[in-house]
Structure 1
Amino acid sequence: MPDPNSLYGPLDPAPDAGWSSAPPRMGFFTDTSVCIGCKACEVACKEWNGVPGSGLDLLGMSYDNTGALTANSWRHVAFIEQPRPAGSPSVAARMAVGGPTDVLGAPVAAGSGDGGAGTQFLGMPGAQPPGRGSGAEDRTDFRWLMMSDVCKHCTHAACLDVCPTGSLFRTEFGTVVVQEDICNGCGYCISACPYGVIDQRKDDGRAWKCTLCYDRLGAGMTPACAQACPTESIQYGPLDELRERAATRVATLRGRGVPEARLYGHDPNDGVGGDGAFFLLLDEPEVYGLPPDPIVTTRDLPAMWKRAGLAALAMAAATVAAFVGGSS
């Protein structure tokens, strides 16, 4: 298997797409360690972008009522309940910490960038995490992982490679947007996305996904989901700055005894050239429904077209040779 980076190395996607005076690349850093599962981001996204309601579906075994990223859910907050790893703070330990804390039970100083005083539900008197009733705070056998998932706005976006109408385009901010008015509903982008983000609406067949609030970015505003997030779990800004901030946050968490803290989608040398929306995770990517090693699904297209061209030339040469030989 060829190295994906031999075909798709690091680049700045907006200038590569032809934006001669592009601003710094913008994106999301989602810190799952301070996500409280409030779903304010989902609501804000729907309200600002006019996304239809997803309906109420508790999925049988979860408090999550959306389930996945779809054409009608451009942000999705995953609820993951799992056995608590040995050595990680218990619910009781977190609740016992005085003052505001993050979801790992670590103290948070006001204005520290970890959410600020009064924004973390675990630091509020009598507060309970989602789904925990009276007495549940004494349990030590499980923990909740929550993550607000979104389109990754890949550096090397396979959806752009396969779109036959130009409906998908790269913006000056480095993001990827679908122009629904020229989408023909072919669905090629859906199968091309390595994250399974893009989806079609059943009523019209067109593709829909997060635009990173392109209209708000053009007006100098913060995307609706990041604006609504009460804990600063979703952070928006220049991608280079977010990567530095994320690396510092991981170091802080590991210093607090959380060795499983890791970044996902931040590396410009990964299989998709890095993501415009990346995450701090507290477990393996698969736990959150993310592929461990995403690749550009169209990475083999140049070689395939080359082989097809050579095969066509060989067939043409054989046909000419047979014709000449038969006529002589």
Structure 2
Amino acid sequence: MPDAAHWSAAVDPAPDAGYPDAPPRMGFFTDTSVCIGCKACEVACKEWNAVPQQGLDLLGMSYDNTGALSANSWRHVAFIEQARPAGGHQPALAGTPAGPPASPTSAAIAARSPVDTGTRPGTPPAPEPSAAARMALGEPEFLGMPGSVPPGRQRGGDRSDLRWLMLSDVCKHCTHAACLDVCPTGSLFRTEFGTVVVQQDICNGCGYCIPACPYGVIDQRRDDGRAWKCTLCYDRIGANLTPACAQACPTESIQYGPLDELRQRARSRVERLHLAGTPEARLYGHDPADGVGGDGAFFLLLDEPEVYGLPPDPVVTTRDLPLMWRHAAVAGLTMIAAVVVAFVGHRR
């Protein structure tokens, strides 16, 4: 277990875990500004990993039917309806009703008549560019759910000051993972890709990893008590395949690849959003100098982390254990020395 002086060490933890010739560290970059809340990632995760259903719960007034990450929800799409931040209104694009900002592509779809496809009769319309392609061109993206009518609109067409925030949450695959530190059986292990995986066949259900996680990701199944969480599709990435959730994401909100490349892409994305008039865009979990050494799955957010149910300053819960053990050892030796001195003095 590394001590506190090494929490900001190398970003790739695989070599320290016994992989001297490890491949590049892989991870997720989730851009919430293009998430449409379709939950395709949740479905793909369950189908590929045979994650059982946990029942339908609409959670009161929310469209969110999972609520949080759990042993049976390794991906969770959060729905947050909130008042738009002060100064967040922007002029509507041509052909788009007034309301929250929409991308030029969405505006073009809204302005296009059913028969005007932009092509000659009998010719199918050209496909729309993907979200990733539009990002590469620097095009301002929609915020929230795309479509001919942007989010925050009411049925009568009246203006609304509400907006939707979406977040597809997942295990962060921390650089310094407390769950690894506390697991007594070695069920949790670091892979050659820098991710963290649970081996259920040797998990004894002790539950130590659950309070150790600063994000509240890991959970136990009620029927067997073992711990379960996202594996970043370890079996798929080992075969050079994209994780199921990223493969299924229709807007490429979930992007998978080498972590260094994703971080560079994310910084460029934030800069473009700032230039497009979205100053609240920020990255979360990307900084190797934070309390967990940086996450293998990080996010672009459009509000404070607390709004999405994320801790603002996560800290590895086992960070201070080495120092605590040293203090305990010194205290124990001091007590033993005091007892010996007292005993010798009494004999004299």
Using the size of structure 2 for normalisation, the TM-score is 0.84
Specify the alignment match of 2:324 in structure 1: 304
- Give the structure with higher Rg (CA): 2
The 2-side partners of 1:147 and 1:122 are apart by 12
* Cα pair 1:168 1:177 within 8 Å, conserved: yes
Q: Name which of 252, 270, 273 aligns with 1:253.
A: 273
Deviation at 1:87, TM superposition (A): 3.5
AA aligned opposite 1:311: A
CA deviations on 1:88-147 (whole Å, 9 max, x unpaired) are 357x9479449xxxx841325725615689x9896655x676x97743x54321000000
The 1-side partners of 2:88 and 2:212 are apart by 38
Specify the alignment match of 1:107 in structure 2: 104
Q: Summarize the Cα distance change of 1:95–1:143 in structure 2 as closer, same or farther, 3 Å threshold.
A: farther
Specify the alignment match of 2:335 in structure 1: 315
The 1-side partners of 2:134 and 2:256 are apart by 14
Specify the alignment match of 1:267 in structure 2: 287
The 2-side partners of 1:104 and 1:54 are apart by 36
* Cα pair 2:36 2:146 within 8 Å, conserved: no
Deviation at 1:34, TM superposition (A): 0.3
Using the size of structure 1 for normalisation, the TM-score is 0.89
The 1-side partners of 2:216 and 2:94 are apart by 37
Is residue 161 of structure 2 the alignment partner of residue 164 of structure 1?
Answer: no
- Write the mapping of 1:125-204 to structure 2, written as runs, cut at 5 A: 125=148, 134-135=155-156, 138-204=158-224
* Cα pair 2:292 2:315 within 8 Å, conserved: yes
Q: Summarize the Cα distance change of 1:93–1:122 in structure 2 as closer, same or farther, 3 Å threshold.
A: farther
- Name the SS of the counterpart of 1:309 in structure 2: helix
* Cα pair 1:95 1:122 within 8 Å, conserved: no
Q: Note the residue ranges of structure 1 that are not aligned, 5 or more in a row.
A: none
* Cα pair 2:13 2:194 within 8 Å, conserved: yes
Specify the alignment match of 2:69 in structure 1: 69
- Identity score, percent: 73
* Cα pair 2:32 2:166 within 8 Å, conserved: yes
Deviation at 1:188, TM superposition (A): 1.1
Is residue 232 of structure 2 the alignment partner of residue 233 of structure 1?
Answer: no
Deviation at 1:263, TM superposition (A): 0.4
Is residue 24 of structure 2 the alignment partner of residue 28 of structure 1?
Answer: no
Q: Summarize the Cα distance change of 1:123–1:177 in structure 2 as closer, same or farther, 3 Å threshold.
A: closer
AA aligned opposite 1:81: E
Specify the alignment match of 2:297 in structure 1: 277
* Cα pair 1:5 1:271 within 8 Å, conserved: no
Deviation at 1:55, TM superposition (A): 1.0
Deviation at 1:56, TM superposition (A): 0.5
Stretch of structure 1 that moved more, 12-21 or 26-35: 12-21
Q: Summarize the Cα distance change of 1:96–1:164 in structure 2 as closer, same or farther, 3 Å threshold.
A: farther
Question: Number of aligned pairs?
Answer: 316
Stretch of structure 1 that moved more, 290-299 or 106-115: 106-115
CA deviations on 1:9-67 (whole Å, 9 max, x unpaired) are 13220011110110000000000000000000000000000111021100002000000
Q: Summarize the Cα distance change of 1:104–1:174 in structure 2 as closer, same or farther, 3 Å threshold.
A: farther
Q: Summarize the Cα distance change of 1:48–1:95 in structure 2 as closer, same or farther, 3 Å threshold.
A: farther
Root mean square deviation, CA, Å:
2.6
Q: Summarize the Cα distance change of 1:40–1:123 in structure 2 as closer, same or farther, 3 Å threshold.
A: closer
The 1-side partners of 2:83 and 2:104 are apart by 23
